[in-house]
Chain A
Amino acid sequence: MGKHGSLLAVIVLCLLLSVPVLTVFSSVFNSSDGVWQHLVDTLLWSYIVQSLQLMLGVGVMVLVLGVAPAWLVTMTRFPGSRWLEWALVLPLAMPAYIIAYTYTGMLDVAGPVQGFIRDTFDLRFGDYWFPQIRSTGGAITMLSLVLYPYVYLLSRMAFLEQSVCVLEVSRTLGSSPWHAFTRMAVPLARPAIIAGLALVLMETLADYGTVQYFGISTFTAGIFRTWFGMGSATAAAQLSAVLMLFILVLVIAEQWSRNRARYHHTSTRYSRLPQLRLKGWKMVGALLYCLIPVLFGFVVPVLQLAWWAWDTRALVDFSAFSQLVFNSLRLAFTAALIALMLGMLITYAKRLQPGLPMRTATRVLGLGYAVPGTVIAVGVLIPFAWLDNSLDAWMRAQFDIATGLLMSGTLIAVVFAYIVRFLPVAMNTVEAGLGKIKPSMDDAGRSMGLGSWQILRRIHIPMLKGSLLTAALLVFVDVLKELPATLILRPFNFNTLAIRTYELANQERLTEAAASALMIVIAGIIPVMIISLSISASRPGHDKRT
């Protein structure tokens, strides 16, 4: 197969994976029986405003929680900093809907915290002020607490890879560490920070569990209400299309910011990063700053879940439970490896052939991440059912054999939906890593007579090990947490931890849901820690002593 042949093959693959997103988009042109007009008259504007508020709030908060701690643990030393280096990633294992349930259970009007205030000071409701957890502010806080690790991870990766030369130059020019952070480190890490931010904002737009639980009318909540409440799949698809426009803007902004400059560094000199030892109030400040996200994004909710799980331990059926764990893990494992392979293939093809067709194809593919799982699920159901039914009809006509539904309602459909939804995560991570490898490396390889495949195998993969592992594990953790697509597409009698948790929480039995919720978090901790450690190890020459 020639160069063009393989390019075509990759583009066809991208198109195939874009079918669900395009399916949803295509129903835009159907008529919606006045539902759309009703939306314009009543709630559309508030959907837009609420979504923007949420994105803005989460965007600012994840930057605050993610960037500075990444720099602090990379460039400075203070008591606990080595430990915090990986602990800061832990909230990634916590699904947003679960942290929302947990804090609501604790902080809501009828929860133990407000109950304690009332009992201790002998107050009645309304006599005292307490922040309202189920509010836009509450949703911003919940989402930020579990999503900031994306920004933290990617900016830390960038800080670790920054050339010492640049920092030394800035120091010799007399700038303070603070200046080195704001003037050198952050601007240089900008593409990574923005890539992390884009992931966070897409997750925010796609979130349904949290906003629905808090009663916030975002775009996604609007899609569900229109679809289910008014029975208008068309108007819901049209809302989804508007949502995708939001995302397209995000994706383009992210790529634009990445493309404008070349960020691979030119120095070949790597040495251990000089780490500033913090003392006095600076040390205390740094420690507190880095502790807050870990404490509120992980420790507090996990303790609460553990407490509830202990309280309801008698209700757990262990054999059924271990089946759930097994199902969740194998799905996550399969999806992560497939996403890794496809992500590598597509990203590499794009590096070889960065033309317009490839860029367009990957951009459309990238939309999947921001589309709510339920919408993706329906986007998967439509083509799969069509394919199965057409094949069945053809087989009946030709051979009088009924094949029925071959792929719909199997785990193939489930895994396909995961790939559509989470491949962009893998692609983003691999691409960020690949972007750091100088094109001159490829040239050098080629001049030694290596083909594209050998360049990938012998130069890129060894250099990318950290990024590849991160890509696979991010997808693994995302699949572990995924709910809506699994719920709708799964085969008969197939359950996962996320489904179990959701079903109990949905019956307002939060305490009983705690055991499976806790299990999701525990299963996610190990991959999350591997990600963090592999990033520390990813700095070329990290173990070289100076």
Chain B
Amino acid sequence: MKKLLLSMFAVSALSAGLFVSAAAQAAEVNVYSGREENLIKPLLDRFSAATGVTVNLITAGADELTTRLELEGANSPADLLLTVDVGRLLRAKEMGLLQAVDSDVLESQIPAQYRDSEGQWFGVSLRARVVVYDKECVDPAQLSTYEDLVDPKWRGQICVRSSSNIYNQSMTAAMISHHGVEATEQWARGLVANFARDPQGGDRDQIAAVAIGQCQLAIVNNYYLAGMMNATNEEQREQASKVAVFWPNQADRGAHINISGVGLTAHAPNRAEAVQLLEYLVSDEAQTWYAETNNEFPVRPGVPVSATLQAWGEFKADELALEQLGTHNAESVRLMDRAGWR
């Protein structure tokens, strides 16, 4: 019995230590981040070092964080919501979770199509959804557009991940913006008919599948291939060496672009510091870091891209204002359900 009491005492002591949080410091800013810790923390640390502002971070899926933000309401400690795609920012705005920022820095540095016209969210880096092809059996002259991927000549040759993935949802939402629901559903059905296998795995898995010959084409985000080309793992580098990038739709609207972006929360307790961090994210230093570390494209024109991306050459990006994707995300999911895109 003594032991039991003793252990109960130990628990209470331990729990007490567990639950006492550090007292608030002078200047701080709280970030809810959909971007994983190792892909954002180094940048936030630099910001802290430069400004003396402490950055507190929670990372999780953007949807979960949005739910948390919504439920915490006016008392939420969060100042900034950071996501890796535009769809979640649009939804947060729609739910009334964000507020407008009026900043000359942000407006002058970020092209209009990559930020909210009301200033509620801002893109800080760009990612392109590209076609990757097998260098051995595909002549790039056969490739042209996303629309062309439904051509029967690609029957059984296309690898792409699940439609649960947000990048596919945004790509399809953009398609709806350009062509309408009906044509996009036709397109999705055609694409499904050309699948080499049931959608599975992530973007790197699609690239690997092309490298070993399970399919000839894959639709992936640019930085996954760049990451494989620079991987520590030799096998990944070898797989990456067997494929090449094709920029789709260069003769018309350009390649589909998504952003990683940030919004100021509606009840941010540290507004000034939050805006300071927002502006830091489009600074030369931060933009270069995005480009070098994760092989994304800087949102600011004129900041140099990484050597890997430079080697892929210039490309034309779709200039569709991303806020137009807003209403299309849920529709794109339903559409892909109907088309049988798992």
Contact = CB atoms under 8 A, between A and B. Distances in A.
5 contacts: A42-B337, A215-B199, A229-B330, A233-B67, A499-B59
Given A490-B58, A492-B58, A503-B38, A134 B71 contact: no
A43 B337 contact: yes
Contacts of A374: 64
B329 A231 contact: yes
B36 interface: yes
Contacts of A488: 60-61, 64-65, 67-68
Given A405-B77, A490-B58, A511 B233 contact: yes
Interface stretch (B119-127, B210-218, B249-257, B296-304): B210-218
B103 interface: no
Given A125-B212, A125-B213, A215 B198 contact: yes
B39 interface: yes
Interface residues of A, number: 77
A221 interface: yes
B164 A330 contact: no
A46 B234 CA distance: 40
B109 interface: no
Interface stretch (A168-176, A354-362, A409-417, A419-427): A409-417
Contacts of A337: 7-8, 11
A230 B333 contact: yes
A457 interface: yes
Interface string B26-61: 000010000011110000000000000000111111
A124 B213 CA distance: 7
A125 B214 contact: yes
Contacts of A227: 63
A408 B71 CA distance: 10
Interface hub of B59, B164, B198, B205 (most chain A Cβ within 10 A): B164
A409 B233 contact: no
A442 interface: no
Given A110-B212, A411-B18, 12 more contacts: A108-B201, A108-B205, A126-B214, A134-B200, A229-B329, A385-B73, A408-B72, A484-B64, A488-B65, A494-B58, A500-B37, A508-B204
Interface in A197-237: 212-215, 217, 221, 224-225, 227-233
B19 A508 contact: no
Interface in B189-216: 198-205, 208-209, 211-214
B212 to A, nearest CB: 5
B80 to A, nearest CB: 12
A508 B205 contact: yes
A341 interface: yes
A378 interface: yes
A378 B67 contact: yes
A435 interface: no
